Amino acid sequence: MIERVAYLSMHTSPLLQPGEGDAGGMNVYVQELSETMAARGVDVDVFTRRESPALPDIVEVGPRYRVHHVEAGPARPLPITKQALFVREYADGVLDHYQESARPDMVHSHYWLSGWAGLIVKRSLGVPLANSFHTLGRVKDLTRRDGEPPESLLRLAAEHEVIEGSDCLVASTPLESEDLLSHYGADPARLCMSPPGVDHDVFSPGDRASARRRLGLPEGPLVLFVGRIQALKGLDVLVESFRLTHEKLPDARLLVVGGPSGPKGSKELDLLAASVESAGLADSVDLVPPVAHSRLADYYRAADVLHVPSRSESFGLVAAEGQSCGLPVVATRVGGLTHAVDDGRSGVLVEGWEPLDHATAVLKILDDPALAREYAQGAVDWSQRFSWDATANRFLELYSGAVARAGV
């Protein structure tokens, strides 16, 4: 029986606001998984790097669920590339905790930095290690925007090391499993698949007019984007696609909810604002700073289409949450989005990043109310397969299997 789990999330805390900086779907993943596991009676300790001297050493998030702020480098936000210098210090901070506490049954690291640290923790404590990458460097390189630099050789080397040393490699979708096999030569015997979940108590269908009133939004066709402002999210495709949509439907609006992410985030935000201005869309596009995760439900309910033109997604949690609210999705046929969206039933998957193709898919839904209603119901139905309870069940099964194989 699994009684204690350590979750390693070095570069970002589950307590941070998703949608800006390095906080996104992974933060939601770790937070929701931790809460669900704790509700099952599992003691959960999440370890993240301290980014401010004012942060407490330990935050008691809830019964059986704690977040530890570990000293690893200067106590301020750092780019991920700089955080790599402090992986050993972070791992030592995790190990310091277990000098005085019972060791966990399982360590589960998230992202390549935490996975790198997880190898140290695993070997020191003698417990199994599971790792969820959330994104893979080689896969991101395959679809990066022109002009974007490739992923660092350090990251790629670390990913290979983590893959070699993990007892359980967690993939969110069958396609991610294939990526681990084909691009990294992962051992098939150590691949484990478990998709993220959706909190259906928060993300559920609601009245569109009421949601718009609460948000102060006007009537008319509304396209929604939710996510961090970074090149990976296909914002160039988003704006040009909306320009073409706006030519056909002049009363259409685009709502962009999210903040800058990574060292180039501010530049991307400026580029986004400039592209909106140069396209003559300043009066039809609203840039909204990140909002509390639970408040996103009203944005999903208020919109007519959720546009996800990402260049890479390990899963696409935003798409799953939007569908749970009855929102049809137009997304790139890439990565986990091919699993998160039911093409032709809950929305439309588009090949590639040609803005005209994306605009055509968006207009297909906006121009046909009957089809939009059909997709909305299909979205709700499809989203039911994603729940945190199901995710927790799967992880408890995977953890128990890893512990049994390790004989600890």
Task: Quick: pLDDT tens for 218-234.
Answer: 999 999 999 989 888 99
Contacting residues for 182 by C-beta, under 8 A, at least 6 apart: none
With 80 as the cut, is the pLDDT of residue 300 above it?
yes
**Locate tokens 């296909």: which residue?**
234
With 70 as the cut, is the pLDDT of residue 113 above it?
yes
Q: What are the φ/ψ torsions at residue 332 (nearest 5 degrees)? A: -70, 140
Q: What is the mean pLDDT of residues 330-358?
A: 96
With 70 as the cut, is the pLDDT of residue 19 above it?
no
Instruction: Identify the band that residue 38 occupies on the pLDDT scale cut at 50, 70 and 90.
Output: very high
d(C-alpha 394, C-alpha 207), whole Å: 33
With 90 as the cut, is the pLDDT of residue 382 above it?
yes
pLDDT in the model for residue 144: 83
Cα 185 versus chain centre, distance:
24
DSSP bridge pairs for 47: 8, 68
Are residues 222 and 201 in contact, defined by beta-carbon separation less than 8 angstroms? no
Instruction: Identify the band that residue 18 occupies on the pLDDT scale cut at 50, 70 and 90.
Output: low
* Per-residue pLDDT reduced to its tens digit, 56-70: 999 999 999 999 999
With 80 as the cut, is the pLDDT of residue 347 above it?
yes
pLDDT in the model for residue 320: 96
Query: Which H helix or E strand runs over 110?
Result: strand 106-110
pLDDT in the model for residue 140: 87
pTM to 2 decimals? Answer: 0.89
How wide is the angle at C-alpha 304 spanned by C-alphas 303 and 307, nearest 5°? 85
Instruction: Identify the band that residue 282 occupies on the pLDDT scale cut at 50, 70 and 90.
Output: very high
Averaged confidence pLDDT in the chain: 94
**Locate tokens 């991307």: which residue?**
268
